[in-house]
Chain A
Amino acid sequence: MRLAQETGQDLVTDQTVLIIEDRPDIAARLTEAVNATDGITVAGQAGTLDQGINLLYDRRPRVVLVDIGLPDGSGIDAVKASAAADWEVDALVVSIFGDEARVFEALQAGAKGYILKSGALRQIGDDILAVLEGGSPISPSIARHLLSVLSTGAAPKPEASDSGLTDRETEILRAVARGYKRHEIGTQLGISAGTVGNHITNIYRKLKVGSNMEAVVQATKIGVL
């Protein structure tokens, strides 16, 4: 375990990151990626869910990277714990490929998004920074899924609502689903990349609202929709 002090980064400005990952090599790689990024530093690393939740309350990190398949339970529980925490903490699911079903479950539990552990080191750091700036990492596949789930039964509305997408949100999700990056979408729509990120954060929030959404997701899983 490498603590923030050892990296030589300034504790006051650096945001802390907790890593919950059972494969030591991958955990090491994630740690490397975080520490290689300016502004963030690893505050702790856990190999089990139990340890992870203990460290969560102990270290009170700003960001938690959670692997879903942990030896003693589902990482979703760590996401839930983060969502219920009394300080500001964003949970990010660590996934090899970003598999849809589990990421979706995590998003519903309150995750801010996911990061790919197979991706380049710089990408992992950038994704965490994007979350800290208020955005939410999203993949084309998740975007498409969100489109089908959140548009169901409700025509796009011009004003924001608890569930259902606004026209702008639909536009953004469509672009993401086609593989466009945040800054490209911003350019296309004449808004900043940050604003695009905020929209996505809002969309994620909508996933958590009604229990009927649960049913919709369930329906999507079994292939009714």
Chain B
Amino acid sequence: MTAQAWRGGIVLLVSVAVLTWGVYALNFGRIVPIDGAQMFTSGQLCAQPECRDARPVDLPYFAPRAFDDALETLHFRFEAPLEALPDGLYAVYLPKYSDNLDLFVNGALVRANTLPLRKWNTPLLVPVPARLLQEGPNRIALTLYGPKAEAPDLQALFLGPYSVLKPHYDTRWFWGPGLARFAFGLMLLLSGVLLLIWQSRRAERGYLWLGLSCLAAVIFLIHYAFGQALGSYRIWTMTWALSASFYVLLVLKFISSFLGQPPSLAERVHFFVLVAGVVVILLAPPGYSFALVASVNVLTVFPAVAVLGVLWRNRSALSPFDFTVLALCLAPSVALGCFEVWMMGFNTPSRSMHLFHIMPIIMSFACLWLIVSQLIASMGGLERLTAAQSEIIAAKSRELEDSFARLAEVEKRQAISQERDRIMLDLHDGIGGHLVSTLAYIKANDLGDATLERALEEALRDLALMLDSMENTDSLATLLGMLRTRLEGLLEEHGLEFDWQIHGEPEVPVPGPSQNLHVARIVQEAITNVIKHAKADTITVYADEARIEIADNGRGFDQVAQAASGQIGHGLLGMKRRAQALGVDLTLRSDADGTRVRLDFPQEVRRAAE
């Protein structure tokens, strides 16, 4: 154990001791004089029922303890002088006596005992008819019955008007058997509910322990609430007194299981003490039963403090608020237990009111709070889970929608693609086939019409370019590559060759197949212009992201002169028009070293479009 744990334990013990002392010091339910009523704090104890020998005694009187399960019978006599005959109903009020009694007023029996009921913590209010009273001396006699082993006692009693004594009686009855009966009902209900819950949730042992603890409380509360003895003196004393001890064991088990702790040493020791106690009580003479159960209950104080210890050690497992609630309930409960044990063991100085029956109420509140708090926490968890799941569902729904949309898009594209393929196939096999066939025919038969041949070849090239642009909708670089493949033969025929320098994918301002086709046509036009006019031997085609450039090492031409003479070719005009439509800058520079056509793609326009 660490120093901190020791400190914690000491703090616990001290706080329990302080609380116990507090309960003791408060002396709740102490018997004080009542205005308008006579209080008897002294009387006579008679040796015989007819009271031939009597000795004065002071109240409270405690019979000497004896290890005997027989019933003690004590005869008391009190002198009650009355100055005047009362008007209304009178009453004798006994706040505390044990266990049962007969009451006589001026020799008349006004209350017969209710044995075998043991009214050890129940006040008694006996109405006394005015006709039984007289002016001058009156005699109240009572015969007290109680087990010798438990030291029957009689506390101060009162004689006075019924109306004056009734409220005091009611208050005391409420705090005594009244509250005990309430606790009894509550515990009975809780044990039923908790055991039912446990039935459907066997894995959660906490409900079992708590339900059983309530059941144990029900047993000892019978003793506090009704004074009903079930079974012989030995059996009942053992049952009710040890059920309190058993209660502590079960609460300890509940706390451990709630905190997810393995059974502690305290639990095991306590269990063996209980079993040993039962064996010893059953073997010992019945007169020793009460002394023995009292001893066991003294030992129970330690496991009860252990409950607090377990709680303290595992406080991090609880929310600060839960811990506070539990500690605030557990500590007074332990204190009440200690106080009760003390009352069982000692008669003097007396504290006349038992309070132990309040303990189960406080404890149940604490334990139920824990369960409710756990429930709230798990409900929160459930809500979070539900929210998370809703989110997942929403996300999945979105995905599903997206994929539906994609599917629709794919279907659309598929339809377009199929249609495109059909048209392309028609162009390819139909027009293309005819053109190639015709060209082959002209060449094979040597018909020799160069113009016709050139026209057919150009038509074929143009068709090829169109088909290529449709095949390569997303890459201008590849389209340029195809263009090279198409024109390579033509170049070769004219003794030209390409200096091919495609360094990147040109980014047309507005991308698309027809835009690509326009660009490719410009490039093709520039290349065929070189073939036709430039008298060069190399055509350099350069491309990167921002531009395309077609340059030759031919003789060049005078633009100004050409423009002035109106000789500027249709090809050149077409190129310019196309470039303008595309939003591309076309620059033409020509000098003695050759001609250079340059297409610049404005990058910011494209970026803005994206």
A contact residues vs B (CB 8 Å cutoff): 23, 25-26, 28-29, 32, 69, 96-101, 116-120, 122-123, 139-141, 143-144, 176-181, 184, 221-224
Interface size on B, residues (CB 8 A): 45
Contact sample, A vs B, 7 pairs, CB 8 Å cutoff: A32-B444, A96-B429, A100-B471, A118-B432, A118-B436, A118-B486, A223-B414
Q: Is the CB of B413 within 8 A of A222?
A: yes
Residues of B within 8 A of A98 (CB): 485
Q: Is the CB of B444 within 8 A of A28?
A: yes
CB interface residues, B 6-64, toward A, < 8 Å? none
Residue in B closest to A178 when the chains form the complex, CB atoms: B502
Q: Which of B432, B477, B500 contacts A96 (CB 8 A)?
A: B432
Residues of B within 8 A of A141 (CB): 468, 471-472, 478, 481-482
CB interface residues, B 406-438, toward A, < 8 Å? 410, 413-414, 416-417, 421, 424-425, 428-429, 432-433, 435-438
B473 to chain A minimum Cβ distance, whole angstroms, is 10
7 A-B pairs with the lowest CB-CB distances in the bound complex, closest first: A179-B481, A140-B481, A120-B489, A25-B440, A223-B413, A178-B502, A29-B440
Residue in A closest to B491 when the chains form the complex, CB atoms: A120
A215 to chain B minimum Cβ distance, whole angstroms, is 14
Q: Is the CB of A177 within 8 A of B481?
A: yes
CA distance A96 to B464 in the complex (A): 9
A184 to chain B minimum Cβ distance, whole angstroms, is 7
Q: Which of A29, A101, A116, A139 contacts B444 (CB 8 A)?
A: A29
Q: Is the CB of B502 within 8 A of A180?
A: yes
A11 to chain B minimum Cβ distance, whole angstroms, is 26
Q: Is the CB of B500 within 8 A of A139?
A: no
CA distance A140 to B468 in the complex (A): 10
A140 to chain B minimum Cβ distance, whole angstroms, is 3
Residues of A within 8 A of B438 (CB): 25
Residues of A within 8 A of B414 (CB): 222-223
Residue in A closest to B541 when the chains form the complex, CB atoms: A179
A91 to chain B minimum Cβ distance, whole angstroms, is 20
CA distance A99 to B436 in the complex (A): 15
Residues of A within 8 A of B472 (CB): 140-141, 144
Residues of A within 8 A of B416 (CB): 223
CA distance A221 to B424 in the complex (A): 14
CB interface residues, B 456-483, toward A, < 8 Å? 460, 463-464, 467-468, 471-472, 475, 477-478, 480-483
CA distance A179 to B480 in the complex (A): 7
Contact flag A25-B485 (CB < 8 Å), given A141-B472, A222-B414: no
Contact flag A97-B432 (CB < 8 Å), given A120-B493, A140-B485, A179-B500: yes
Among the interface residues A69, A119, A141, A180, which one has the most CB atoms of the partner chain B within 10 A?
A141
Residue in A closest to B431 when the chains form the complex, CB atoms: A96
Q: Is the CB of A221 within 8 A of B468?
A: no
Residue interface mask B433-454, A partner, CB < 8 A = 1: 1011111110110000000000
Q: Is the CB of B500 within 8 A of A23?
A: no
Q: Is B484 close to A, CB under 8 A?
A: yes
Interface residues of chain B: helix, strand, loop or mixed (majority): helix
Q: Is the CB of B464 within 8 A of A140?
A: no
Residue in A closest to B490 when the chains form the complex, CB atoms: A120
B145 to chain A minimum Cβ distance, whole angstroms, is 97
Contact flag A28-B440 (CB < 8 Å), given A122-B492, A144-B478, A179-B477: yes
B478 to chain A minimum Cβ distance, whole angstroms, is 5
Q: Is the CB of B475 within 8 A of A144?
A: yes
Among the interface residues A139, A180, A223, which one has the most CB atoms of the partner chain B within 10 A?
A223
Given A143-B478, A179-B485, A222-B417, 13 other A-B contacts at CB below 8 A? A23-B433, A97-B468, A118-B464, A141-B482, A144-B478, A177-B477, A177-B478, A179-B478, A179-B481, A179-B483, A180-B481, A222-B414, A224-B410
CA distance A16 to B485 in the complex (A): 26
Residues of A within 8 A of B432 (CB): 96-97, 118
Q: Is B204 close to A, CB under 8 A?
A: no
B209 to chain A minimum Cβ distance, whole angstroms, is 59
CA distance A189 to B367 in the complex (A): 81
Q: Is the CB of A119 within 8 A of B467?
A: no
B513 to chain A minimum Cβ distance, whole angstroms, is 13
Q: Is B170 close to A, CB under 8 A?
A: no
Residues of A within 8 A of B493 (CB): 120
Q: Which of A99, A122, A143 contacts B424 (CB 8 A)?
A: A99
CA distance A92 to B563 in the complex (A): 50
Residues of B within 8 A of A69 (CB): 429
CA distance A141 to B413 in the complex (A): 20
Q: Is the CB of B502 within 8 A of A123?
A: no
Q: Is the CB of A26 within 8 A of B440?
A: yes
CA distance A23 to B435 in the complex (A): 12
Residues of A within 8 A of B490 (CB): 120
Residue in B closest to A222 when the chains form the complex, CB atoms: B414
Q: Is the CB of B437 within 8 A of A25?
A: yes
CA distance A184 to B432 in the complex (A): 30
Among the interface residues B416, B483, B484, which one has the most CB atoms of the partner chain A within 10 A?
B484
Q: Which of A96, A100, A181, A221 contacts B436 (CB 8 A)?
A: A96
Q: Is the CB of A25 within 8 A of B482?
A: no
CA distance A73 to B480 in the complex (A): 34
CB interface residues, B 503-544, toward A, < 8 Å? none
Q: Is the CB of B443 within 8 A of A29?
A: yes
Residues of B within 8 A of A32 (CB): 444
Among the interface residues B439, B482, B500, which one has the most CB atoms of the partner chain A within 10 A?
B482
Residues of A within 8 A of B593 (CB): none
Q: Is the CB of A119 within 8 A of B489?
A: yes
Q: Is B391 close to A, CB under 8 A?
A: no
CA distance A119 to B464 in the complex (A): 11
Q: Is B488 close to A, CB under 8 A?
A: yes
Residues of A within 8 A of B437 (CB): 23, 25-26
Residues of A within 8 A of B444 (CB): 25, 28-29, 32
CA distance A109 to B433 in the complex (A): 24
B447 to chain A minimum Cβ distance, whole angstroms, is 12
Q: Is the CB of B478 within 8 A of A223?
A: no
CA distance A43 to B467 in the complex (A): 33
B217 to chain A minimum Cβ distance, whole angstroms, is 70
Residues of B within 8 A of A25 (CB): 437-438, 440-441, 444
Residue interface mask B266-286, A partner, CB < 8 A = 1: 000000000000000000000
Residue interface mask B340-363, A partner, CB < 8 A = 1: 000000000000000000000000
Contact flag A177-B475 (CB < 8 Å), given A28-B444, A184-B500: yes
B146 to chain A minimum Cβ distance, whole angstroms, is 94
Residues of B within 8 A of A26 (CB): 436-437, 440
Q: Is the CB of A176 within 8 A of B436?
A: no
A103 to chain B minimum Cβ distance, whole angstroms, is 10
B542 to chain A minimum Cβ distance, whole angstroms, is 12
A93 to chain B minimum Cβ distance, whole angstroms, is 13
CA distance A122 to B491 in the complex (A): 13
Residues of A within 8 A of B489 (CB): 119-120, 122-123
CA distance A139 to B480 in the complex (A): 11
B601 to chain A minimum Cβ distance, whole angstroms, is 17
Q: Which of A99, A123, A221 contacts B425 (CB 8 A)?
A: A99
